[in-house]
Amino acid sequence: MKPHKVFSNNIDADRYESESSRSLWSIFKIMGEFVDGYETLLKVGPCISIFGSARVKPGSKYYELAVQAAASISENGFGVITGGGPGIMEAANKGAYSKNGKSVGLGIDLPKEQGVNRYVSPNYVINFRYFFVRKVMFVKYAQGFIVLPGGFGTLDELFETITLIQTEKIMKIPIVLIGTEYWQGLIDWIKDKLVQNGYIHENDLDLFYLTNDVDEAVKHICDFYEDKEPKPNFSY
């Protein structure tokens, strides 16, 4: 079968130089986002990152559970970090706001999601262009994670965090999944496919905790810090 030639060997030098220049300058934009994030979040203090779907509506089951979880976390002295958008993120910021807690929003420019929700503290709004910089901020300044049902973005953030702990790039911190009816199928698949085939160790299942109960979720995090001092996580 004759190979299908996709690329030409002829390189437009001017175009290549222009693209290279833009790529190099983007490094400074990336550095700027890291500096802004580090400078702002370092002042916040111990926080819990709360993830979940942007599509969940106020009044729905998981929206209200996120409000309750964030309110309880705030009463226990932690700030709350979210992506600053609608749905679960708004609910978590609302819960922190209701208890005069620190309510952080790490916004990002997306076609269908602009700006941060009204429950984010004005002093703790950070907007990002780059997803990967934003994800570093979710992890570096979090002392734990509460994860409610969500889509690809939620799963991406969850599995990246688990991987960082598994590979000891960050210290072990509590990860709590709320919503058995949503998470149990995934956990069963992890046990059947990953553990049984040796792709992960059975002990890796201990890297997260599943519950339906908000009080139990918050207690799991607080108990973890009963004899530990919360501090920033250095990832990457």
Domains of the chain (ranges, CATH numbers): 46-224 (3.40.50.450)
Q: What is the pLDDT of residue 6?
A: 56
Q: What is the pLDDT of residue 23?
A: 74
Instruction: Say if residues 124 and 102 touch (Cβ distance below 8 Å).
Output: yes
Nearest CA among 136, 154, 132 for reference residue 235: 136
pLDDT higher than threshold 60 for residue 7 = no
- For helices 214-224 and 61-75, what crossing angle results, to 10°? 30
More confident residue, 50 or 231: 50
Q: Which residue type is seen at 181?
A: E
d(C-alpha 125, C-alpha 40), whole Å: 9
Q: What percent of the chain has pLDDT over 90?
A: 74
Residues 6+ apart with CB under 8 A from 40: 124, 126
Average pLDDT, the chain: 90
pLDDT higher than threshold 50 for residue 236 = no
Tokens of 185: 């199928």
Q: What is the pLDDT of residue 115?
A: 78
Mean pLDDT throughout 120-148?
93
pLDDT higher than threshold 90 for residue 1 = no
d(C-alpha 188, C-alpha 160), whole Å: 19
Q: What is the pLDDT of residue 14?
A: 58
More confident residue, 108 or 114: 108
- pLDDT band at residue 110, thresholds of 50, 70 and 90? confident
pLDDT higher than threshold 70 for residue 4 = no
For tokens 């509506």, what's the residue? 57
Q: What is the pLDDT of residue 113?
A: 62
Which letter does DSSP use for residue 133 in this model? H
d(C-alpha 84, C-alpha 99), whole Å: 17
- pLDDT band at residue 148, thresholds of 50, 70 and 90? very high
Mean pLDDT throughout 150-170?
95
Tokens of 225: 């810090």
Q: What is the pLDDT of residue 228?
A: 80
Residues 6+ apart with CB under 8 A from 2: none
Which letter does DSSP use for residue 110 in this model? B
pLDDT higher than threshold 50 for residue 106 = yes
pLDDT higher than threshold 50 for residue 45 = yes
Instruction: Say if residues 103 and 124 touch (Cβ distance below 8 Å).
Output: yes
Q: Which residue type is seen at 9?
A: N
Q: Which residue type is seen at 13?
A: A
pLDDT higher than threshold 90 for residue 15 = no
The alpha-helical segments, DSSP class H, found in the chain are: 13-41, 61-75, 88-98, 131-140, 152-166, 180-189, 214-224
Q: Which residue type is seen at 65?
A: L
Mean pLDDT throughout 140-165?
96
